[in-house]
């Protein structure tokens, strides 16, 4: 959660106010006005060795030529919905572009931002987060929490219909809970719902009784999209497969059609419980890569792109030269990192630390991403009340990396590739078969920035004797049951997690979130084959963080988690993403932010 900390009324003469929130930190970095002292306090003054990006980019492929920087134009910080000049019209179509195709449109199965971007225009939860991180009523109009923190009571909105004509009732909430918790169904995320012991319905009142105090309960449960009982009643397999290709919700838009690798169409729902949508249709167009997206934004074939798949940082200057769109800017809760599968040599802390030392994050941000990102050292966003400002990131230091790899028992073998004994019973001591250190580094096809970053990282790791091969797959395959996570090879994967609106991070690290099968529930995929060597400690901390409601006490727990993650390096933290959505100059009501998905308020979009 981002805490808009109040700022002092006075500052030293001539001194700029020190940025406190995530959006302010983003703007300060881009403006170039954040002092070294201020950067250090936020763990973003990185004492890196000599620049490496200039050397590596030639081998990785030159950065695509961008239009000269427009000194007279800068991205527009998002402070509210767009309000173009002219009279708002009823009707029309807006085409949104993205180089990511959803794997499914099932809210309980997908783990992709691209899918949720679309789903949020069609389906409602009991509440939803707005662009100011406030819970806004949807299928429920009010809620209360018992004094002991174990009972949640929701007052449901009456007169709501699903797109198929079914009336929304409390039974839909009950049945959504049951299917989410059904092990045969395999919901991707059960957080919060797994704390419910019983749900009772009395007219328009739904009461949820939980087994324990769970601080993020509303963040997860209240914001979950609710499905119709009639669809759930068709059985696990039908509900999983068919519903994901044609979802039924209560939102302002209904599902129209899905043409694979082309587009998804949403149509206005005339029976919507709230104010009817202004637009007749939204087309979610799937483009193959960033280059195509940029061309279609320039020509007007695409009128908007959003937070999860917006204008790449390296193309912002180019987009600022387009007459067809405004380029917006906002912070995100998305942290880009390299997942490290916990197998073979990667099970050793010293090896993970070595790979961190050998990843030139500062140069990636400042040179490749043109400074349009915030460095990351853990999984809590700068500006958040849960963020620890005192952790210092590891510098880029190949000598320290070599030393750690040697201490882990790795020595040069054939062709200079490091080799050693694979850890078995004790992940800190190698005593198994001798293998070369060969690792695959994956990224999602079509993301040109991540492709360049992967090539830069691979060249650095290869210089250590870690044989690194860069690979890519389309977004549906890479996160599917046959993706890299479930192969026995050592792998890293470059991608971003987007945090929810509560600092809870048990989903990433707790052993309860390790899926039992490739289609099982849980987000702790790197530990699928082996628990972390620090698993017991991270389990205790993440469990305590979820069970503590006092904010100051929770903050101290999350400080400990961040320190542990920095020490153990289960993933290599690179940056906090800054989003640059693009929107046509005649679209009003468009309001992206860090706290929700693209179509969360699509019913309020309009054309002038």
Dist. CA 250–CA 269, nearest whole Å: 9
Domain identity same for 293 and 425: no
Domain identity same for 343 and 488: yes
> How does residue 542 score in pLDDT terms, banded at 50, 70 and 90?
very high
Pick the residue with more confidence: 507 or 458? 458
Domain identity same for 386 and 530: yes
Burial class (CB in 10 A: 0-12, 13-18, 19+), 401: buried
Mean pLDDT of 552-576: 97
**CATH number of the domain where residue 415 is located:** 3.10.105.10
Domain identity same for 568 and 593: no
Dist. CA 602–CA 391, nearest whole Å: 39
Domain identity same for 436 and 537: yes
User: Is pLDDT above 90 for 278?
Assistant: yes
- Asked if residue 365 is part of any domain, the answer here is yes
> How does residue 150 score in pLDDT terms, banded at 50, 70 and 90?
very high
**CATH number of the domain where residue 145 is located:** 3.90.76.10
Report DSSP state, residue 2: B
Domain identity same for 489 and 586: no
- Asked if residue 22 is part of any domain, the answer here is no
DSSP element (H, E) containing 320: helix 316-320
Tokens, residue 238: 């039908």
User: Is pLDDT above 50 for 46?
Assistant: no
* DSSP result, 261-319: TTEEEEEE-TT-SSSPPS-SEEEEEE-SSHHHHHHHHHHTS--EE-STT---GGGHHHH
pLDDT of amino acid 20: 52
pLDDT of amino acid 44: 29
What is the torsional sign of CA 519, 521, 522, 528? negative
Residue 250, CA atoms < 13 Å, CB-side half-sphere: 27
Domain identity same for 463 and 410: yes
Tokens, residue 169: 């009732």
Mean pLDDT of 569-584: 96
Look at residues 501, 503, 504, 525 and name the one whose alpha carbon lies nearest to residue 513.
525
Domain that holds residue 601: 78-122+251-310+581-608
- Asked if residue 38 is part of any domain, the answer here is no
User: Is pLDDT above 90 for 367?
Assistant: yes
Mark which of 197, 217, 241 sits at the end of a domain: 241
- Asked if residue 55 is part of any domain, the answer here is no
DSSP element (H, E) containing 373: strand 373-375
Mean pLDDT of 261-268: 97
User: Is pLDDT above 90 for 433?
Assistant: no
pLDDT of amino acid 519: 85
Domain identity same for 265 and 165: no
Domain identity same for 566 and 592: no
Domain identity same for 422 and 495: yes
The top-scoring range by mean pLDDT among 30-44, 329-343, 413-427 is 329-343
Q: Domain count of the chain?
A: 3
Dist. CA 67–CA 311, nearest whole Å: 14
> How does residue 27 score in pLDDT terms, banded at 50, 70 and 90?
low
For a pLDDT cut of 90, what percent of the chain falls above it?
75
Dist. CA 214–CA 192, nearest whole Å: 7
Q: At what angle do helices 398-407 and 349-357 cross, to 10 degrees?
A: 170
pLDDT of amino acid 47: 30
**Confidence (pTM):** 0.80
Among 68-82, 282-296, 505-519, the minimum mean pLDDT is found in 68-82
> How does residue 446 score in pLDDT terms, banded at 50, 70 and 90?
confident
Dist. CA 383–CA 351, nearest whole Å: 31
Dist. CA 529–CA 539, nearest whole Å: 17
User: Is pLDDT above 60 for 30?
Assistant: no
Mark which of 219, 241, 263 sits at the end of a domain: 241
Domain identity same for 524 and 556: yes
In whole angstroms, what separates CA 27 from the centre of its chain? 20
Domain identity same for 141 and 234: yes
pLDDT of amino acid 309: 72
Find tokens 């209360």 and name the residue: 144
> How does residue 22 score in pLDDT terms, banded at 50, 70 and 90?
low
- Asked if residue 35 is part of any domain, the answer here is no
Among 63-77, 220-234, 471-485, 490-504, the minimum mean pLDDT is found in 63-77
> How does residue 24 score in pLDDT terms, banded at 50, 70 and 90?
low
φ/ψ (deg, to 5) at 368: -75, -45
- Asked if residue 234 is part of any domain, the answer here is yes
**CATH number of the domain where residue 88 is located:** 3.40.190.10
Beta strands 571-579; 325-340: pairing state: antiparallel
Mark which of 192, 211, 241 sits at the end of a domain: 241
For a pLDDT cut of 70, what percent of the chain falls above it?
87
Dist. CA 506–CA 217, nearest whole Å: 13
Dist. CA 221–CA 192, nearest whole Å: 6
Tokens, residue 361: 């994050």
- Asked if residue 136 is part of any domain, the answer here is yes
Report DSSP state, residue 230: H
Dist. CA 470–CA 483, nearest whole Å: 15
- Asked if residue 559 is part of any domain, the answer here is yes
Look at residues 224, 64, 63 and name the one whose alpha carbon lies nearest to residue 140.
224
Write out pLDDT tens, residues 177-207.
999 999 999 998 899 999 999 999 999 999 9
Mean pLDDT of 140-160: 97
Start-to-end CA distance of the chain, whole Å, equals 34
């Amino acid at each position: 959660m981002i805490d808009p900390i109040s700022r002092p009324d006075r500052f030293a003469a001539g001194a700029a106010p020190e940025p406190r929130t995530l959006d302010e930190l983003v703007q300060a970095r881009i403006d170039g006005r954040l002092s070294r002292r201020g950067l250090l306090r936020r763990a973003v003054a990185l004492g890196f060795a000599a620049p490496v990006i200039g050397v590596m980019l030639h081998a990785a492929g030159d950065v695509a030529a961008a239009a000269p920087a427009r000194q007279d134009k800068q991205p527009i910080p998002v402070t509210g919905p767009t309000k173009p000049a002219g009279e708002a019209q009823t009707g029309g179509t807006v085409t949104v572009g993205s180089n990511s195709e959803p794997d499914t449109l099932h809210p309980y199965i997908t783990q992709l931002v691209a899918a949720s971007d679309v789903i949020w225009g069609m389906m409602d939860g009991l509440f939803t987060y707005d662009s100011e991180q406030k819970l806004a009523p949807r299928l429920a109009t009010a809620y209360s929490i018992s004094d002991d923190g174990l009972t949640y009571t929701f007052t449901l909105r009456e007169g709501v219909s699903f797109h198929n004509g079914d009336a929304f009732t409390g039974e839909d909430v009950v049945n959504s809970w049951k299917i989410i918790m059904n092990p045969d169904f395999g919901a991707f995320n059960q957080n919060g719902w797994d704390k419910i012991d019983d749900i009772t319905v009395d007219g328009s009142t739904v009461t949820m009784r939980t087994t324990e105090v769970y601080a993020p309960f509303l963040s997860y449960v209240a914001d979950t999209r609710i499905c119709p009982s009639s669809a759930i009643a068709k059985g696990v397999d039908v509900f999983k497969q068919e519903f994901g290709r044609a979802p039924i919700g209560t939102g302002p838009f209904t599902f129209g059609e899905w043409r694979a690798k082309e587009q998804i169409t949403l149509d206005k729902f005339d029976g919507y419980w709230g104010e009817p949508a202004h637009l007749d249709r939204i087309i979610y167009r799937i483009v193959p890569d960033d280059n195509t997206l940029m061309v279609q934004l320039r020509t007007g074939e695409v009128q908007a792109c959003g937070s999860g798949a917006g204008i790449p940082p390296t193309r912002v200057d180019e987009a600022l030269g387009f007459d067809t769109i405004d380029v917006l800017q906002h912070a995100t809760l998305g942290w880009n990192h390299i997942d490290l599968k916990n197998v073979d040599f990667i099970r050793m802390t010293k090896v993970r630390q070595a790979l961190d030392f050998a990843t030139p994050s500062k140069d990636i941000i400042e040179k490749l991403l043109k400074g349009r990102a915030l460095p990351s050292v853990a999984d809590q966003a700068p500006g958040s009340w849960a963020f620890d400002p005192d952790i210092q990131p590891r510098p880029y230091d190949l000598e320290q990396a070599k030393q750690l790899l040697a201490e882990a028992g790795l020595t040069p073998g054939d062709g200079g590739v490091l080799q050693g004994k694979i850890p078995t019973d004790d992940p800190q001591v190698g005593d198994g078969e001798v293998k070369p250190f060969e690792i695959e580094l994956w990224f999602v096809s079509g993301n040109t920035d991540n492709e360049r970053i992967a090539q830069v990282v691979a060249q650095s790791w290869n210089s250590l004797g870690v044989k690194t091969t860069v690979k890519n797959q389309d977004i549906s395959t890479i996160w599917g049951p046959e993706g890299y996570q479930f192969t026995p090879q050592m792998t890293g994967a470059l991608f971003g997690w987007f945090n929810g609106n509560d600092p809870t991070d048990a989903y990433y690290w707790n052993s309860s979130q390790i899926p039992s099968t490739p289609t099982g529930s849980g987000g702790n995929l790197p530990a699928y084959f082996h628990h972390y060597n620090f698993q017991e400690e991270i389990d205790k901390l993440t469990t305590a963080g979820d069970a503590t409601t006092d904010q100051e006490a929770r903050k101290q727990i999350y400080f400990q988690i961040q320190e542990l993650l920095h020490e153990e390096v289960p993933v290599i933290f690179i940056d906090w993403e800054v989003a640059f959505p693009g929107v046509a100059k005649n679209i009003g009501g468009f309001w992206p932010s860090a706290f929700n998905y693209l179509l969360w308020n699509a019913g309020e979009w309009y054309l002038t």
